[in-house]
Structure 1
């Protein structure tokens, strides 16, 4: 057969005039595979995008319904042991109830006010709680750690393992407090502050000092989740002392990390070289 008459199924190129143009022929099978691959890739990328969107919506709904207490995400339950917060200047009010002589059903109440400060580190489990801010009204400062405490006072210092970070907060009924209302208000002088209110009836085992708080309310800033006010009421008719209520107000409470030095600024009674009293 003549060499010039031999032809392939497809010519790789043709010659037009004086210019050479390469004309490529692609089979239908190759075109179809290319379109199919591109379509599959588009479907895969679209599926990934839809999946990410569904996951984000689902995760957002789950977080919105959480009831687990946390320093930054309180829900239907609030526990103050999970909060880092501080206030250098607050108030403590305690009320005593006394019967009036020659009367079985009439009582009078005596309200006492004293300054107070609160520093709390929930990560390293430390609290510094001072009752009495001036040298004239200072009563105690509690330096509370994870496993023990110092109780510093003008008369001396006690080191005790009976008061720890968790037990100190529990003694005030401030753990697992139930949501009561989200649109409550509290008064600071002439200003009304919007807060979230939690309330609980502590079990009989909860004791603040030697008294059992029968009802506890906590008022929490809805944005910072800091406790601005908490109040313990002692309504047990069988209670042997005259204590009626204790209320702590810390309207300046903020969710800041206290300086670690604040948890060790003892008076001379609690310095390492001093002879403080051990109490087990």
Structure 2
């Protein structure tokens, strides 16, 4: 008689198939195609469930998109603040690589969420060196100086565009000195601004910016101006914020807009 393996079962059948024939219960054979289909369906279900979870997190109000790291273009639309920066004008004297410099303190507060900027030139006590304060809102801007308040018919986005930030690209990562004995790693951006960009009445040939590696705030930006035939005039204008920090500090500053500004019309 033929033998049957332990996994095989004899089936009762009146027909005589002979001694060399074993009848095996087909129900014991593994259906691999069914198992593969079940695995695929399981993976599809897991992927769908994971996608739903990720989508719910991204679309929730509490989710904050991370800052773009090593962005190709300068990330200037960020919330940042510094109340102890410096602004320096470097003027050509007529001699090669010889410049006269004028420096004053500046403050910068930018709220990218509410699209507001406060920028003050001259921060010495008692307004000793104060020149002008910019109050920038979504759709309009106020320039306040010793002569009063002037309203501009452009707001936050156009104000930043007029600073020439739109077309400058990341060049490399490098280290710069922010204090006497402190250096930091930064993303260095450089480029040529649009032809209609005017800084102090002059079109700069080069715009540069230096940001935190995660682009959450900016340490500095500067403008380089073309040389004149007599080798005089403005050579460089740079904004320097060694103590710049991400986020918004004192939003109450926007409430200090002089009442005379509210009487201005576009």
Per the TM superposition, whether the score is higher than 0.5 is yes
Say whether the 8 Å CA contact 2:85–2:107 is kept in structure 1: yes
Residue 156 of structure 1 corresponds to which residue in structure 2?
148
Counterparts of 2:173 and 2:191 in 1: how far apart (Å)? 15
Secondary structure of the 1:78 match is coil
Kindly report which structure 2 residues correspond to 1:88-237, keeping only aligned pairs within 5 A, or say none. 88-99=83-94, 108-134=98-124, 135-161=127-153, 163-237=154-228
1:185 to 1:240, Cα distance in 2 relative to 1, 3 A: closer
Residue 78 of structure 1 corresponds to which residue in structure 2?
74
TM score, norm. by length of structure 2: 0.71
TM score, norm. by length of structure 1: 0.68
1:212 Cα offset (Å): 1.1
1:194 to 1:210, Cα distance in 2 relative to 1, 3 A: same
Select the residue among 33, 38, 41 that pairs with 1:41: 38
Larger Rg: 1
Counterparts of 2:97 and 2:241 in 1: how far apart (Å)? 29
Counterparts of 1:193 and 1:151 in 2: how far apart (Å)? 34
Question: How far does the alpha carbon of each residue in 1:214-242 deviate from its partner, in whole angstroms, 9 at most, with x for none?
Answer: 11110010035311111111124279982
Secondary structure of the 1:141 match is strand
Counterparts of 1:199 and 1:218 in 2: how far apart (Å)? 7
1:239 to 1:195, Cα distance in 2 relative to 1, 3 A: farther
1:213 Cα offset (Å): 1.4
Task: Point out where structure 2 has 5 or more consecutive residues left out of the alignment.
Answer: 1-10, 13-23, 52-64
1:78 to 1:106, Cα distance in 2 relative to 1, 3 A: closer
Structure 1 residue ranges (4+ consecutive) displaced by more than 4 angstroms after TM superposition: 27-39, 46-49, 105-108, 238-241
1:45 to 1:115, Cα distance in 2 relative to 1, 3 A: same
Say whether the 8 Å CA contact 2:93–2:233 is kept in structure 1: yes
1:181 to 1:34, Cα distance in 2 relative to 1, 3 A: closer
Say how many residue pairs are matched: 227
What is the RMSD computed on CA atoms of the aligned residues? 3.4
